């Protein structure tokens, strides 16, 4: 610790160079923080999926509906604790850009399945009682200024009523809190949907199943799929986690693209920081020789140079990550996450130290091998 | 000595001494190559996607969807209405007097991707008997055409490359029915190459459906579109949206292109700032190692402008080398790579990354911009060097 002022002074020997180096390393960590944060947000959605819940979709494709009659058959499969269902309603509010994630469901079984959705008993009762009732996430309510009692028209791009109208009216009866991935959701009664839709009656989008024992999820999955094998509507049962992951995978390999960009960025950086450190050592050869003359050991000088490199990278990384954390909430509309995950920050710091060691080692070795007499003579 | 000669002489010297400063000069080159490669690759993705969708469909064809649906997946059209639509006066008649149009049933099948086995939504398009008179761009490249009434499929070239189990002769099970792939087709690299096609009626019966998703028609002429649209939207029995086929597909690429362009410019922009600091670093150190040389030149009568220009030229030259390397990397690694992503229909669209000359020019402009700014400030410092002090400095 007592050498910190010495290292600090050495770092600022060429002020302009150090500032430029710090800024360019900082931009790399800004990118790292943001890109890695986006991946982290997707991972979090996957991690938030419960291990004891399964989704049952059509084997052909998860966009293909299944008969509602399957519900009682699924419930009777050994190991199934309870089951509920959702359908994809595909709506927007007033303008095509204002997409609302709305789902018709059976409220009693659905909200029992998702205890993480905090709906008050009174609001739940109101939903069950009101045919056109809907409950919505806090974020969604805030976005459009909807309150309990608001009457909300939604336009469905899929479902029509007899007569051809695609406009559906709902009465907001409850606003709930819950994890981020539910904050934009809109749930309403399946019964209303079933009565009013002009086609597709008797079918639902997919089932959600709670298993009694998460360790037996695999067996229960295959038992469900076997039950419907060779029927016109074969099923594909996955854990909620697998289902979410397959959903993201369809977007193409986001991970790969992000990693490729980061690879390019860090390769560039390695070059830049390495160069700065080389230059810094080259210029200071006589000074390092003086340090050795004063009694610093070879290893001591090596550590001094390495410490300088680490300090430089850490300052830069801290700057970049802090900036990323400041900007990140602005991406909320794209990815739905609010804060830069702490894991990303920790990983960033580890990478900064590694970067520093890789780029600092060659000049540090050079400093270690310095021969005092030659160095002082400028040879 | 004229100003031009001076510039020539000083620039010659600075470039001649580049090999001695290889390490620090390479910082500019590598930094800019990285920026250019990333910007070009991401934009190549946007360009390829846009190109695939923009080349789908023709201006003299129209697609009819249910009113309010913006994609085929969300749309449904009753049989009775199909006849009304095909009977419109503006639709071209074939030699046998039937309208050149196709009622299409769009269903989705979940197939594993070759690259990572991930289940992916692939479109199966059930088409009418006039579908291939309607789309002359489709031609069979292997096997044969499906026969109507049979459970046979033909597969697009893009889908065949991206997804497993689509070789000619292989079987697919769709809702408990067995289908055979009997042929492969190409359609000029458009979005239909990501699909499978089959007889519409057979698809509907296999999926126990009775509704079509869209009707595509050949118009007598591209000018007939407005009249066709008026006729259908004015018909009280129909509730439909009518779009030019070309506009329908072009609009589908808008969202993803926007996201990709955003990524390219934001990520590329941040990287460019990083590379700019690297360039400044390099050029400042180039000026400081050459400070004695520059001072000497000034002392024997060289003006400050040639010195400024020579530093700028050096920075630009290094930036251009970086741009060339970056473009070459993007070209070698990504140009023509087939990738797929979810399109507007919630199904996979296969497209190729396309590095166009326009993108390379854009990359070079970015590089020049970084080079000029990265060279400007060090150049000014070089010009302002106090001659006497710089000469004495060791």
Quick one: B290 and B343 in the same domain? yes
Q: What is the DSSP string of B286-340?
A: HHHHTHHHHHHHHHTT--HHHHHHHHHHHHHHHHHHHHHHHHHHHHHHHTT-EEE
Quick one: B82 and B28 in the same domain? no
Which residues, including other chains, have CB under 8 Å from residue A92's CB and lie 6 or more apart? Answer: A98, A99, A100, A154, A155, A157
Rounded to an integer, what distance in angstroms lies between the CA atom of residue B45 and that of residue B255? 13
B68 CB neighbours in chain A (<8 A) are 155-157, 166
**Mean pLDDT, residues B266-276 taken together:** 87
Quick one: B191 and B117 in the same domain? yes
**Mean pLDDT, residues B226-250 taken together:** 91
Compute CA distances A307 → A3, A69, A302, A313, B101, whole Å: 10, 69, 9, 10, 74
- The Cα of B222 is separated from the nearest Cα of chain A by a number of Å equal to 28
Q: What are phi and psi of A209, to 5 degrees?
A: -125, 135
Choose, out of A36, A272, A355, A363, the residue to mutate when testing the contact with B (most B CBs < 10 Å): A272
- Which residue of chain B has the CA closest to A158? B74
DSSP one-letter code for A155: E
The alpha helices in chain B, defined as continuous H runs, are 3-16, 22-54, 79-86, 131-134, 157-162, 200-206, 225-233, 245-252, 254-289, 291-299, 304-334, 357-384, 387-392
Quick one: B81 and B219 in the same domain? yes
B273 CB neighbours in chain A (<8 A) are 23-24, 27
3 state SS of A353: helix
User: Does B200 map to a domain?
Assistant: yes
A232 touches chain B (CB under 8 A): yes
**pLDDT, greater one: B215 or B261:** B215
A242 touches chain B (CB under 8 A): no
Rounded to an integer, what distance in angstroms lies between the CA atom of residue A143 and that of residue B347? 29
Residue B145: the pLDDT is: 96
Residue in A344, A339, A345 with CA at minimum distance from that of residue A326: A339
Rounded to an integer, what distance in angstroms lies between the CA atom of residue A269 and that of residue A27? 10
Quick one: B233 and B380 in the same domain? no
A247 touches chain B (CB under 8 A): no
Per the structure, the count of domains in chain B is 2
- Contact B111/B119 with Cβ under 8 angstroms? yes
- Which residue of chain A has the CA closest to B177? A232
Count CB-CB contacts under 10 A for residue A192.
Answer: 18
Does residue B394 carry a pLDDT above 60?
no
Which residues, including other chains, have CB under 8 Å from residue A376's CB and lie 6 or more apart? Answer: A286, A289, A290, A293
User: Does B63 map to a domain?
Assistant: no
User: Does B11 map to a domain?
Assistant: yes
Last residue of one domain, picked from the residues B176, B205, B238 = B238
User: Does B300 map to a domain?
Assistant: yes
A39 CB neighbours in chain B (<8 A) are none
Residue in B105, B346, B175 with CA at minimum distance from that of residue A251: B346
Choose, out of A19, A64, A268, the residue to mutate when testing the contact with B (most B CBs < 10 Å): A268
Q: Are strands B152-156 and B177-186 parallel, antiparallel or unpaired?
A: parallel
Count CB-CB contacts under 10 A for residue A135.
Answer: 25
Q: Helix (H) and strand (E) counts for chain A?
A: 15, 12
Count CB-CB contacts under 10 A for residue A110.
Answer: 19
Compute CA distances A226 → A205, A209, A319, B392, whole Å: 19, 15, 56, 90
Whether A252 sits inside 8 A of B342 (CB atoms) is yes
Residue A333: the pLDDT is: 60
A372 touches chain B (CB under 8 A): no
Quick one: B200 and B263 in the same domain? no
A16 touches chain B (CB under 8 A): yes
pLDDT per position in chain A (379 positions), as tens?
Answer: 678 888 888 888 888 888 888 888 898 888 888 888 877 777 776 776 777 899 999 887 778 889 999 999 999 999 999 999 999 998 999 988 888 999 999 999 999 999 989 999 999 999 999 999 999 999 999 999 999 999 999 999 889 888 778 899 999 999 999 887 788 899 999 999 999 998 889 999 999 999 999 888 889 999 999 999 878 888 999 988 888 877 777 776 656 777 777 788 777 777 777 777 777 777 788 888 888 888 888 898 899 889 988 998 999 999 999 998 888 877 766 655 567 778 888 999 998 999 889 888 888 888 888 888 888 876 6
User: Does B245 map to a domain?
Assistant: no
| CA pseudo-torsion sign A192, A195, A200, A206 | positive
Residue A253: the pLDDT is: 62
Which tokens is B107 given?
Answer: 């269903």
Residue B298: the pLDDT is: 87
Last residue of one domain, picked from the residues B181, B210, B238 = B238
| Domain hosting residue B188, numbered range | 68-238
Quick one: B279 and B343 in the same domain? yes
Q: Count of A–B CB contacts within 8 Å?
A: 151
Burial (0-12, 13-18, 19+ Cβ within 10 Å), B350:
buried
Quick one: B42 and B122 in the same domain? no
| pTM reported for the whole predicted model | 0.81
Q: Predicted confidence band at B372 (pLDDT cuts at 50, 70, 90)?
A: very high
User: Does B318 map to a domain?
Assistant: yes
User: Does B59 map to a domain?
Assistant: no
Whether A60 sits inside 8 A of B267 (CB atoms) is no
Rounded to an integer, what distance in angstroms lies between the CA atom of residue A337 and that of residue A330? 10
Whether A199 sits inside 8 A of B211 (CB atoms) is yes
Nearest to A271 among B26, B107, B341 (CB): B26
A272 CB neighbours in chain B (<8 A) are 27, 30-31, 278, 281
Quick one: B185 and B117 in the same domain? yes
Quick one: B225 and B307 in the same domain? no
Nearest to B277 among A20, A96, A158 (CB): A20
Rounded to an integer, what distance in angstroms lies between the CA atom of residue A207 and that of residue A66? 8
A27 touches chain B (CB under 8 A): yes
Residue in B229, B226, B159, B163 with CA at minimum distance from that of residue B195: B159
Residue B81: the pLDDT is: 92
Whether A21 sits inside 8 A of B23 (CB atoms) is no
**Mean pLDDT, residues B231-237 taken together:** 90
Q: H-helix or E-strand containing A240?
A: helix A240-249
**pLDDT, greater one: B73 or B158:** B158
3 state SS of B88: coil
pLDDT, averaged across chain B: 89
Q: What is the pLDDT of residues B98-138, one digit of tens each?
A: 999 999 999 888 899 888 788 888 999 999 999 999 999 99
Quick one: B209 and B318 in the same domain? no
Last residue of one domain, picked from the residues B238, B267, B283 = B238
- ipTM exceeding 0.85, yes/no: no
Quick one: B286 and B331 in the same domain? yes
- Which positions 248-287 of A are in contact with B (Cβ < 8 Å)? 249-253, 257, 260-261, 264-265, 267-269, 271-272, 275-276, 278-279
A164 touches chain B (CB under 8 A): yes
Residue A332: the pLDDT is: 64
Whether A249 sits inside 8 A of B281 (CB atoms) is no
User: Does B73 map to a domain?
Assistant: yes
**Mean pLDDT, residues B35-39 taken together:** 90
């Amino acid at each position: 610790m007592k050498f910190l002022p010495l290292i600090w002074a050495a770092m600022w020997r060429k002020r302009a160079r150090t500032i430029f180096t710090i800024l360019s390393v900082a931009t790399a960590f800004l990118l790292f923080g943001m890109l890695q944060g986006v991946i982290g947000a997707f991972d979090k959605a996957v991690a938030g999926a419960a291990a004891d819940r399964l989704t049952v979709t059509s084997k052909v494709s998860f966009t293909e509906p299944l008969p509602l009659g399957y519900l009682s058959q699924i419930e009777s499969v050994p190991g199934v604790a309870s089951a509920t269902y959702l359908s994809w309603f595909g709506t927007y509010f007033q303008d095509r850009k204002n997409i609302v994630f709305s789902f018709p469901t059976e409220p009693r079984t659905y909200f029992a399945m998702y205890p993480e959705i905090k709906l008050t008993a009174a609001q739940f009762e109101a939903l069950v009682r009101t045919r056109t009732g809907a409950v919505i996430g806090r974020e969604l309510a805030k976005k459009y200024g909807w309150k309990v009692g608001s009457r909300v028209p939604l336009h469905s791009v899929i479902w029509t009523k007899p007569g051809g109208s695609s406009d559906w009216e709902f009465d907001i009866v409850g606003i709930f809190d819950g994890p981020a991935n539910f904050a934009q959701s809109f749930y309403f009664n399946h019964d209303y949907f079933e009565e009013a839709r002009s086609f597709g009656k008797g079918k639902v989008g997919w089932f959600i199943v709670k298993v009694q024992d998460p360790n037996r999820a695999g067996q229960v999955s295959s038992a469900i799929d076997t039950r419907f094998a060779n029927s016109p509507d074969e099923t594909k049962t996955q854990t909620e986690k697998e289902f979410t992951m397959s959903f993201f995978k369809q977007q193409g390999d986001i991970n790969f693209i992000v990693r490729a960009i980061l690879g390019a960025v860090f390769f560039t950086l390695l070059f830049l920081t390495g160069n700065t450190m080389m230059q810094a050592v080259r210029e200071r050869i006589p000074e390092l020789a003086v340090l050795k003359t004063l009694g610093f050991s070879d290893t001591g000088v090596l550590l001094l140079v390495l410490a300088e490199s680490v300090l430089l990278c850490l300052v830069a990384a801290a700057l970049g990550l802090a900036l990323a954390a400041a900007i990140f909430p602005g991406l909320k509309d794209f990815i739905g996450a609010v804060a830069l995950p702490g894991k990303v920050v920790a990983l960033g710091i580890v990478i900064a130290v590694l970067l520093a060691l890789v780029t600092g080692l060659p000049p540090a070795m050079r400093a270690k091998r310095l021969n005092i007499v030659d160095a002082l003579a400028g040879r | 000595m004229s100003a031009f000669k001076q510039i020539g002489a000083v620039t010659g010297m600075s470039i001649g001494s580049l090999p001695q400063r290889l390490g620090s000069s390479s910082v500019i080159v590598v930094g800019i190559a990285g920026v250019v490669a990333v910007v070009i690759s991401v934009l190549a993705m946007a360009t390829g996607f846009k190109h695939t969708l923009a080349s789908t469909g023709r201006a003299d064809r129209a697609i009819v969807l249910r009113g309010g649906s913006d994609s085929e997946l969300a749309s449904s059209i009753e049989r009775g209405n199909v006849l009304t639509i095909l009977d419109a006066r503006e639709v071209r008649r074939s030699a046998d007097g039937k309208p050149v149009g196709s009622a299409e049933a769009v269903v989705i099948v979940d197939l594993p991707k070759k690259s990572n086995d991930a289940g992916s939504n692939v479109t199966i398009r059930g088409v009418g008997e006039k579908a291939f008179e309607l789309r002359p761009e489709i031609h069979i490249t292997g096997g044969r055409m499906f026969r109507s009434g049979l459970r046979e499929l033909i597969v697009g070239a893009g889908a065949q490359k991206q997804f497993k189990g689509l070789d000619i002769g292989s079987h697919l099970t769709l809702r408990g029915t067995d289908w055979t792939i009997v042929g492969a087709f190409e359609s000029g690299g458009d979005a239909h190459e990501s699909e499978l096609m089959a007889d519409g009626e057979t698809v509907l019966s296999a999926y126990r459906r009775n509704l079509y998703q869209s009707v595509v028609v050949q118009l007598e002429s591209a000018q007939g579109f407005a009249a066709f649209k008026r006729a259908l939207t004015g018909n009280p029995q129909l509730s439909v949206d009518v779009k030019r086929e070309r506009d329908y597909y072009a609009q589908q690429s808008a969202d993803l292109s926007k996201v990709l362009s955003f990524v390219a410019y934001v990520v590329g922009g941040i990287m460019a700032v990083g590379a700019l600091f690297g360039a400044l670093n390099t050029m400042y150190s180039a000026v400081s190692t050459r400070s004695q040389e520059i001072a000497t030149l000034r002392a024997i009568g060289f003006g400050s402008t040639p010195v400024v220009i020579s530093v700028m030229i050096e920075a630009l030259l290094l930036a251009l080398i970086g741009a060339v390397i970056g473009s070459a990397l993007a070209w070698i690694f990504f140009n023509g790579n087939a990738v797929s992503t979810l399109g507007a229909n919630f199904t996979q669209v296969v497209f190729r990354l396309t590095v166009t000359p326009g993108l390379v020019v854009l990359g070079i402009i970015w590089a020049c911009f970084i080079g000029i700014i990265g060279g400007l400030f060090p150049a000014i410092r070089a010009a302002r060097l106090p001659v006497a002090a710089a000469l004495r400095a060791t």
